[in-house]
């Protein structure tokens, strides 16, 4: 399978991998260096190859080099969930005889077989690439070392269960809700709070305010799987429409997701009644499938007008149920 899209898209292909493993003797994956850690622990996956399309393998030369490497493995079939011409070219240049992708893409002329993108959720659409009615559940797998590292960091920060995890980042600027810092400080008056993400997502750059409960800003301190291990332990995950949202859903942690330029109806939101979405009813929403770097209207009201109180009430409702379930034997 070749999937070199955003991290969240790679996470959503986990059920497709499961399904492919039931049909083929061996499943290898080509993905980005950033997504490799999320795929290499998947029990259905044999080997993971990285394609650094924005770095060392950028451009036509990089593509040809990567294709040459893949060609040596003599694959029979390539599944192409990412509707990208570059991925399709990679499979074609690697001389993989059967190339299966979706029919609604500019790359379809490079496929030997096309499928309809049908289904309410992205997972339902993706699994259609492989024959059969099954839709395996969304899951990702962590190593024990990831959980141990997460525990060490949490202990060092004085965090005990239960706690809320927040992930203030998102790959696209318009999908980032701007008030996570205020939310974290408000929440820390009633429960411990942990922030995870990239260094650029840090909530507190210099001094951190005093709070009643511990508030640990671990952004930039953990690998992606260690961050996932923190998310797995949390009572509730508060996120944007982002990779951490899919991680939380895949690990069984109730999600409170803030949606701005995108919308849960587009099919990328977690499925299940335990998950909550906070969003405004604006005529310009959704303006994009995956969010962009600038609001096309310039005001970014879909996120800026969503108050801390709006998100807080959803978190409190989710917490009440999560903590009650924890107490129930
Ligand atoms: S156009 Fe509307 S939905 Fe899109 S980013 Fe701007 S405010 Fe948000």
Q: What is the DSSP string of 201-232?
A: G-S-SSPPPP-SS-EEE-TTTS-HHHHHHHHH
Residue 169 beta carbon below 6 angstroms from any ligand 1 atom = no
Ligand 1 centroid to Cα of residue 266, in Å, is 15
Calculate mean pLDDT across residues 230-242. Answer: 98
| Run of H or E residues at 99 | strand 98-102
Q: First and final CA of the chain: distance in angstroms?
A: 42
**Residue identifier of the C-alpha nearest atom 5 of ligand 1:** 295
Residue 261 beta carbon below 6 angstroms from any ligand 1 atom = yes
Residue of 255, 262, 254 whose CA lies nearest to 291: 262
Q: What pLDDT, in 10s, does the model give residues 99-123?
A: 999 999 888 999 999 999 988 899 9
On whether the CB atoms of residues 231 and 253 are closer than 8 A, the answer is yes
Task: Answer yes or no: is pLDDT of 236 > 80.
Answer: yes
Residue 291 beta carbon below 6 angstroms from any ligand 1 atom = no
| Predicted pLDDT at 255 | 98
- In the block, residue with structure tokens 């497709």: 16
| Predicted pLDDT at 329 | 65
Ligand 1 centroid to Cα of residue 247, in Å, is 25
Residue of 208, 182, 202 whose CA lies nearest to 307: 182
**Residue of 172, 291, 297, 306 to test ligand 1 pocket, by largest number of atoms within 8 Å of CB:** 297
Ligand 1 centroid to Cα of residue 304, in Å, is 10
Q: What pLDDT, in 10s, does the model give residues 55-88?
A: 888 889 999 999 999 999 999 999 999 989 999 9
Task: Answer yes or no: is pLDDT of 328 > 90.
Answer: no
Task: Answer yes or no: is pLDDT of 29 > 70.
Answer: yes
The pTM for the full model equals 0.94
Token duo for residue 303: 């996120």
On whether the CB atoms of residues 167 and 237 are closer than 8 A, the answer is yes
Token duo for residue 18: 């499961």
Residue 123 beta carbon below 6 angstroms from any ligand 1 atom = no
Task: Answer yes or no: is pLDDT of 304 > 70.
Answer: yes
Per the model's pLDDT, the better-predicted residue between 209 and 245 turns out to be 245
Confidence tier at 209 by pLDDT (50, 70, 90) = confident
On whether the CB atoms of residues 220 and 202 are closer than 8 A, the answer is yes
Ligand 1 centroid to Cα of residue 22, in Å, is 42
Ligand 1 centroid to Cα of residue 138, in Å, is 29
Task: Answer yes or no: is pLDDT of 195 > 90.
Answer: yes
Residue 18 beta carbon below 6 angstroms from any ligand 1 atom = no
Per cent of the chain over pLDDT 70 is 100
Residue 287 beta carbon below 6 angstroms from any ligand 1 atom = yes
Calculate mean pLDDT across residues 29-57. Answer: 93
On whether the CB atoms of residues 11 and 138 are closer than 8 A, the answer is yes
Per cent of the chain over pLDDT 90 is 88
Ligand 1 atom at minimal distance to the Cα of residue 291: 5
**Residue of 176, 265, 299, 305 to test ligand 1 pocket, by largest number of atoms within 8 Å of CB:** 299
Q: Domains for the chain: give ranges and CATH numbers.
A: 7-129 (3.40.50.2000), 146-327 (3.40.50.2000)
**Residue identifier of the C-alpha nearest atom 7 of ligand 1:** 300
What is the rounded average pLDDT for all residues in the chain? 94
Beta bridge partners of 115: 102
**Residue identifier of the C-alpha nearest atom 2 of ligand 1:** 284
């Amino acid at each position: 399978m070749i999937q070199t899209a955003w991290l969240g898209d790679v996470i959503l292909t986990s059920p497709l991998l499961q399904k492919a493993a039931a049909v083929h003797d061996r499943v290898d994956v080509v993905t980005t260096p950033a997504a490799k850690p999320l795929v290499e622990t998947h029990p259905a996956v044999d080997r993971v190859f990285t394609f650094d399309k924005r770095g060392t393998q950028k451009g036509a030369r990089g593509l040809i080099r990567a294709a040459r490497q893949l060609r040596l493995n003599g694959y029979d079939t390539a599944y192409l969930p990412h509707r990208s011409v570059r991925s399709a070219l990679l499979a074609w240049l690697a001389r993989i005889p059967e190339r299966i992708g979706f029919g609604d893409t500019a790359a379809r002329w490079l496929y030997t077989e096309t499928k309809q993108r049908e289904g309410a959720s992205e997972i339902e659409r993706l699994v259609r690439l492989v024959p059969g009615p099954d839709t395996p559940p969304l899951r990702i797998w962590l190593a024990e070392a990831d959980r141990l590292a997460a525990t060490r960091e949490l202990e060092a920060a004085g965090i005990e269960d239960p706690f809320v995890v927040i992930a203030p980042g998102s790959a696209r600027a318009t999908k980032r809700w701007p008030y996570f810092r205020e939310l974290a400080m408000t929440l820390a008056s009633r429960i411990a709070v942990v922030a995870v993400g990239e260094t650029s997502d840090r909530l507190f750059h210099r001094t951190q305010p005093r709070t009643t409960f511990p508030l640990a800003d671990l952004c930039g301190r953990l690998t992606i799987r260690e961050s996932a291990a923190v998310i797995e332990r949390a009572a509730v995950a508060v996120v944007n429409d982002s990779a951490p949202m899919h991680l939380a859903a895949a690990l069984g942690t109730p999600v409170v997701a803030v949606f701005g330029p995108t919308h849960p109806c587009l099919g990328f939101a977690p499925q299940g009644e335990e998950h909550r979405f906070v969003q405004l009813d604006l005529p310009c929403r959704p303006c994009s499938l995956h969010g962009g770097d600038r609001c096309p209207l310039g005001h970014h009201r879909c996120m800026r007008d969503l108050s801390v109180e709006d998100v807080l009430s959803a978190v409190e409702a989710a917490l009440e149920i999560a903590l009650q379930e924890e107490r129930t034997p």
